[in-house]
Structure formats: structure tokens, C-alpha cells
Amino acid sequence: MNLRMDYNNVLSSRIGKEGITQADFDALKPAAEKASQTMADNRPAMKWRELPYNQAEIVAGIKAYAAEMKDGIDAFVVLGIGGSALGPMAVQQALNHPFYNELPREKRTANGAADSFPKLYVVDNVDPERLVYLFQTIDPTRCLFNVISKSGSTSETMSQFMIIKALLEERLGKEAARKRIVCTTDKEKGNLIKIAKEEDYKYFIVPDGVGGRFSQLCPVGLLPAAFCGIDIGGLLEGAAQMDERCKSPCIHENPAYMFAALHVMALNKGKNVTVVMPYADSLKFISDWFAQLWGESLGKHFDLDGNVVNVGQTPVKALGVTDQHSQVQLYAEGPYDKMIVLLGVDEYRETITIPKLYEDMPSLGFLGGVTHNDLIKNEQLATEYALTKSGRMNMTLTLPRVTPQTLGQLLYFFEVATAYAGYLLNIDPFDQPGVEEGKNATYALFGRPGYEAKKAEMDAAPPKDDKYVM
């Protein structure tokens, strides 16, 4: 039950002049050896790589808390943004019923067990309609709100928390409201851990060295998953399996390193867009999660030597077969600027057969007796063929079946590949100065103390010209 990667269709032997050649591999070799050494040297600092091994006690604590709390709530609500939201959504979509929240409580179970689980909502934006409409959908006093912010100063998440705290205390009183809030944050730094201790909220810790976009396999992602009945131990087991496969420093023996190397060589050939296109609804939100991981990690102005490089590869999300009827035309005949990653599944969890109708109509009759399982697989193969025929780089990642173990493999695979790609590009894959600039500008606009210089800088910017406003 291992993830497979097929990269035949990125090679020049398959797609011609746009493909990767042996000369490209040879040219990358010095950077690959250096990046492999950097990964080895920096592993102690990459605490997310130890998450598959050092969380037995944490997993037990999460399971115990979920067992204690789940029957007394209707919904578990995540207040978070970025990796704090995208990861929980991706795992929930992948492993639970696609209409999980619409199922009656007694059908929201884990593997047919007697236990049932609350609904899951993820509030990851501050559109003023979002919380108002959520409160019209759920009874907040019957929910458990998980506030996720390592710094405790994430404006979006903390503003949501402040609204929820005030609402719960008004309706329930302070003591009862306290039991409806659980925090996930740093063990000692920032506002949220201070608030959690002062207010006596239950809290879980984001380990040191685990950034937001690398945090799905710690309490950030494990706590919401546990409240939905997902086997969080299986996720970590799968991640450990992938870590074992990613120990070799050689790209030809390490699937995550090869994925990264292929993308960097593609980037060197002008392929500055990477498309992740799952052929399974269960994996739909993996594309969203990957987009943050890849884009935020690799889009950088400076390299590690201080040179201006403005490097990065734009991640695009698609869904097979849906986007065969929208985006694939561009991929097959548009600019030669893309690497397309098809994400497939060997065995779907359900089978449905098309009835034998309209057999006198050749354009419909051929479908009779065919399963949707075969149809989606053949459409994936057809897309691969069309892309390859038109000389477009494409590769395929395949899960034997979507399970906690294989999903854990996939998440960890992408994380290792992202880190390695960063070092191949000689940039820091773990910072996000572009994000910080936007945050600082927001703080300045609201007059937050300490951001007066940024406000002055913004005020000094040239005004817009009204003649260019239509």
C-alpha cells in the first residue's frame, strides 16, 4: 500500500524537446548533492520530520479529549487560516464521507463503530458574512471551537476568537463558555498561550520548529481529525513509511527528492506553473493544501546568498475529470509553461455501474455496463495521453487506496519534496517574508502600536490617479 510515482512523461524520450534530458540531470547533480547534504544537516531543526515518531503521548491525549467531549457537542469548529485550515479540510474530505455534515449523527461513524462524531466546520476567512451565516446554521452553544494560532497574533483567527468568546460568555456564562474553547498554540510564546492559561482553556501545543504549512501531522491537524473519527495514528504511520522511503540522499532512490528535482529542472526549462489534478473527489482539497505548501515555501525574492532571484513555481489546482471540460484545453494547447501532476487512485471505496440503456445510440450505448470507476480511470489515462502527445510535461502520483496510511504518505511526501526543492533553488523554504509584509501593512492600517513607521511608509506612497478608475 505505497504511493507510486511515474515520471516517464516528463522525459524527452517521451515528449520530445520540451522534456528533461540526461544532460539536465547531469547539470543538476552538484545542486542535488548540496541540497541532500543540507537536508541531512538541517534535519534536527526540521521538527516536522520527527512528528511520525514522537507523538504517542500527544495522540493518546487527543483521543482521550475527543472521546470526552464529542458526545456533548453538535459541531467542532476550527478557527484558523492557512495551514491551520487547509490541512484539516483536506484530511476530512479525503477520509470521511463527502457529505459528512449532511449525514444524520448516527451515520457519522468511524469504520462502522458504534461511536458517532460531531460535524466539522472550518472558518478560515473574515468575510463578515461568514460567521453570521454560520451562527444561522449551528447553535454556537452546542459547539466546540478550536482556536489555532501559534503566535496568538493572527488577526483573522484572533478576531474570530474574540467574537466567539464574547458570544459564548453572553449566552452561557464564563464558566460554561470556557469548556467550549480549545486552543492550539505555542507552548510558551505569544498571546494565545497566555490567554489559554489565564482563562483556563484546554490547549494543545504546536511543537517548536513546525511551521503552519508543515503542521498537519501535529495537533493542528490531528485534533480536528480525531473529532471526526479519523485514525490519526494511521496518518502518522503512513508518514513514517514515507520517511523511510525518503532516507536516501540520491534523487534516483528517493521519490520526494526526485519529485522536487523534476520540478526544478522543469522550472529551469520555463515551466513556472505546476498543476496538481486529482482524479478523486476525496483528494480535491489536497490541491489547495499543496498550493500553500509549494507557493509559500518556494516563492522568494532573495536566495540564501542574498541575491535577488524572484524564484518560484505557481501552483494551480484542478480536478479530474471536472477540469477536463475547462482547464485541460489550456494545458494541452496553451503555453509550454506547465508541469501537470495527475493524482490517481487504484481502488475507489465504492463502485457504481452504468445501466445498459440507449444501446441503439453508439455515442451512449458503449457506456452501458461500464462502472464509473473504469470511466474516471480511463479519462485520467486519456488526459495523460493527450498531454504526452502534445509534448506537455506530466507525471502521475497514485495511491493504491485512500486510507489514513496512504494519505499520511502523501502529505509527508509533499512536505519533504517542498523542503528539498527549496534547497535545490538555494532559498529558505521555511520563511514567508512576502506574507509578513501584508500582515505588517494590515497592522499599520489599524494603528497597531509598533507599526507607526510602516503606516508612515504607506502614507508616503504616491496616490492613485482617478483617471485610471473606471
- Span 250-271, average pLDDT: 98
- The set of catalytic residues is 296, 325, 439
Mean pLDDT taken over the chain = 96
3-class secondary structure, 399: strand
Whether residue 113 is predicted with pLDDT greater than 70 in this model: the reply is: no
What are the beta bridge partners of residue 275?
316, 340
Kindly write down the DSSP assignment for every residue of 314-349, as one continuous string: EEEE--TTGGGGTTHHHHHHS-S-EEEEEEEESS-S
Distance (Å, whole) CA 389 – CA 193 = 55
Whether residue 423 is predicted with pLDDT greater than 90 in this model: the reply is: yes
Contact between 346 and 377 (Cβ < 8 Å) = no
In sequence order, which residues have a C-beta less than 8 Å from that of residue 355 and are 6 or more positions away? 368
Nearest to 19 by CA among 271, 194, 195, 197: 271
324-343 pLDDT tens trace? 999 999 999 999 999 999 99
What local confidence, expressed as pLDDT, does residue 239 receive? 98
What local confidence, expressed as pLDDT, does residue 112 receive? 59
281-292 pLDDT tens trace? 999 999 999 999
Whether residue 114 is predicted with pLDDT greater than 90 in this model: the reply is: no
- Span 339-365, average pLDDT: 96
Distance (Å, whole) CA 186 – CA 396 = 37
What local confidence, expressed as pLDDT, does residue 153 receive? 86
197-231 pLDDT tens trace? 999 999 999 999 999 999 999 999 999 999 999 99
pLDDT band at 436 (very low <50, low <70, confident <90, very high): confident
pLDDT band at 438 (very low <50, low <70, confident <90, very high): confident
Instruction: Using a pLDDT cut of 90, give the percent of the chain over it.
Output: 93
- Span 19-31, average pLDDT: 98
Whether residue 85 is predicted with pLDDT greater than 80 in this model: the reply is: yes
What local confidence, expressed as pLDDT, does residue 434 receive? 85
Kindly write down the DSSP assignment for every residue of 256-312, as one continuous string: HHHHHHHHHHHHHTT--EEEEEESSGGGTTHHHHHHHHHHHHH-EEE-TTS-EEEE-
Distance (Å, whole) CA 120 – CA 117 = 9
144-154 pLDDT tens trace? 999 999 988 89
